A = this chain, B = another copy of it.
Amino acid sequence: MNIAVLGVGTVGEQVVKILQEHKDLIFARSGKEINPVVGVVKNLEKNRDVNIELTDDLDSVLNRTDIDVYVELMGGIDKSYEVVKYALQNKKAVVTANKALLAYYRYELQKIAGETPFGFEASVAGAIPIIKSLREGLSANNICSIEGIMNGTSNYILTSMMKGDTDFAEALKKAQELGYAEADPTFDIGGFDAAHKLLILASIAYGIDAKPEDILIEGIDRINRADIFFVNDFEYTIKLLGIAKKVGNKVELRVHPTLIPKNKMLAKVDGVMNAISVISDCAGESMLYGAGAGGKATASAVISDLIDIARGTNLPMLGYKEPQKAGNFELLQKDQIQTKYYFRLEVEDKVGVLATITNIMSQNNLSVDSFLQKPHLISDDDNMATLFFITHTSYESDVNNFIDLVKKESFIKAEPFMMRIEE
């Protein structure tokens, strides 16, 4: 089985190396020799640590008749879509690690692929076989929910903030120094990376099509030391979660920093590690834990797809052989989401403030589950206080109305901050 590797960066190098170094093992397991025969790169001048023919002529590689599988590791969306489409139209199998491509084009690609194998285990959470577990391992189940720590950068930063005495900026800087965060970290800390992965998993669980711009995405950059203080005190931890949840015949999809009880398994996942917890109606809770990124871990997932193809496995790409029977789930509108909410308000400490706030809450159907007022947490000013609330389960629309109204009050001294809670 001959492989062309399109894009020979950190992951591509490892795909080639592991295929070569584990040649005997892979033959024993798959029954075939899986040979990387050519790599396509943009810049032939750049030094690469691989023992394989390299070319910058993508078109000629796409037209080679001796290639059985194209491994797409170019990244980006539009160009890679054209490349993958071309290969599939020529009935060539494709394996990709490109989550952005799939977040936008997975249904188009499924249609074009038809019976041609298309593997993308590496697109979600590197070494964790979550695509396989959902599509095959849990295939007998209705999926109640998926909650996952799907971004190692954010989890590293949040773990540092929860455990140490660092604030967001320091934790980010440390992550950048260690190579866990990019120079421009927006994609990771803004929740976009996790959202791409969540959309892929939601398709397999629910057969639902949605694009990143359709769903609620919030990042972790507004969390401060006061939040950490409260959260620790109330036995929660904060994780950036991707959440897909069945609510009747609708599915809610959201990515945001989330307060979860310290005794949940997900709460125990620290540092750059990823973990995804699935609740299903027969199997109960299953959690998968492992490295979410890194050249070797991602290459391991790419090659697992290649071995599946070599073994003759050909599964329905998004998990449904009869997609029209997939349950017809609709996306729940953002403002219809219901959960418990956490608020932090910086207020002037004067008579009537609490009464005003609680009045606006009750006008918007919010009721208080827990409350804490602390002076001097954020400012040394004796006239300032920090208020923390946790609500009972409420509608997102009511919460947004409350924030819009309360921030008009003159005693509110900073933009109110809200996080959602999953018990």
Contacts and interface: CB of A to CB of B under 8 A. Distances in A.
Q: Looking at chain A's contact residues, is the secondary structure mostly helix, strand, loop, or mixed?
A: mixed
Interface stretch (A135-143, A251-259, A344-352): A135-143
A54 to B, nearest CB: 22
Interface string A13-35: 01000100010111111111000
Contacts of A286: 127-129, 288-291
Interface string A278-289: 001011111111
A308 B323 CA distance: 17
Given A28-B323, A139-B29, A325-B27, A297 B315 contact: no
In the complex this chain forms, how many copies of it are found? 2
Contacts of A29: 139, 316, 319-321
Interface residues of A, number: 66
Contacts of A284: 127, 290-291, 294, 296-297
Interface string A302-316: 011011100111111
A290 B279 CA distance: 10
Contacts of A359: none
Contacts of A136: 129, 132, 304, 307-308, 313
Nearest to A17: B282
A268 interface: yes
A315 to B, nearest CB: 6
A216 B22 CA distance: 31
A404 to B, nearest CB: 41
A283 B127 contact: yes
Interface of A: 14, 18, 22, 24-32, 121, 126-129, 132-133, 136-142, 207, 265, 268-269, 280, 282-291, 294, 296-297, 299-301, 303-304, 306-308, 311-316, 319-323, 325-327
